[in-house]
Amino acid sequence: MRRPTPRVRTIKKNADRNLRFGWWSLLIFLSLGGALETLHGFKIGWYLDVGNEMRRLMFTLAHAHGTLLAVVNIIAGLTARNIERFELRPSISSALIWAAILLPGGFLLGGIVTYGGDPGLGVWLVPVGAVLLFYSIARIALDLSKLR
């Protein structure tokens, strides 16, 4: 039986990292969804009052984006594991993880302190995360296209 080369080990390590991150992230953001439902259930004014609409929107976006990006990380890890010759570069792996942190994290922080119709300062993390996400998805798409 052949032992994997260091390069293959690195690629597998990256894929595992995204898989692990993805599943933990999925757990966290599904839990956040449960927490938001609880706030609905107990009619918590800090979340539901008319004046807190921006907070509600931010938290909902954090939940949705966090869950979605967790799934994207899992898919990226599985793709790297299962498609021969495809490399999940370390920079892409990291960008994908940071996108999954910054994007929902920005929404979450932006919802904690709000300014009337605007979210809090944390929302400025969202465009940074969005750039990282765009970069990583584009790179994965390009790298997969080169395999043909």
Partner 1 sequence: MTQVATPASLPTNMDRLELAFDGTKYKVERRGDAFFVRKRSEGGNSYGDAQQIVLVTGSHTLQVPWLETGQGRTLEQFPFAYIVAEKMWAPVTETFLMPPGLKDYYPIGAWNGACMDCHVTQGQSRFVEGNKWDSNVAEFGIACEACHSEGGQHIALNRNPIRRFKIYLTTKSDPTMTNPSRLRGPDSALACGQCHSVWAFNNMTDKIDFNRHGSGFRPGGHDLAQRFVVQPNTSDHSDQKDFIRRTEPGFFGNRFWGDGMIRVTGREFNGVQASPCFRGGEFSCISCHEMHLDSPGHPDVTTWARNGQLKPKMESDAACLQCHKDMSARLVEHTHHPADSSGSRCYNCHMPRTTFGLLHAMRSHQVSSPTVRESTVYGRPNACNLCHLDQTLAWTAEKLHAWYNQPMADLSRDDQTIAAAVQWILKGDAGQRVLMAWGFGWESAQKIAGRDWLYPYLIYSLTDPYAAVRFDAWKSLQTLPGFSNFSFNYTVTDSVLSEAAGRAYEKWLHEVRNPNAVYRPETLLDSNGRWQQDIFQRLRTERDDKRILLAE
Query: Whole-angstrom Cα distance, residue 80 to residue 2?
Result: 20
| Closer by beta carbon to partner 1, 114 or else 136 | 114
CA distance linking residue 67 with residue 22, whole number of Å: 9
Q: How far is the CB of 67 from partner 1 (least distance, A)?
A: 26
Options 118, 138, 144, 147; binder of partner 1; rule CB under 8 A: 118
Nearer to partner 1, 1 or 50 (CB): 50
Give residues with Cβ within 8 angstroms of 125, minimum separation 6. 102, 103, 105, 106, 109, 110
**CA distance from start to end of the chain:** 28
From the CB of 25, what's the least distance to partner 1, in Å?
Answer: 28
* Least Å from the CB of residue 116 to partner 1: 9
Q: Which residues contact 43 (CB under 8 A, 6 or more apart)?
A: none
Contact call for residue 112 and partner 1 (CB under 8 A): no
Which span sits near partner 1 by CB under 8 A: 9-17, 54-62, 97-105, 114-122?
Answer: 114-122
How far apart are alpha carbons 105 and 71 in whole angstroms? 16
Residues 14-73 binding partner 1 (CB under 8 A) are 49-51
Q: Name the site residues for partner 1 (rule: CB under 8 A).
A: 49-51, 115, 118, 121
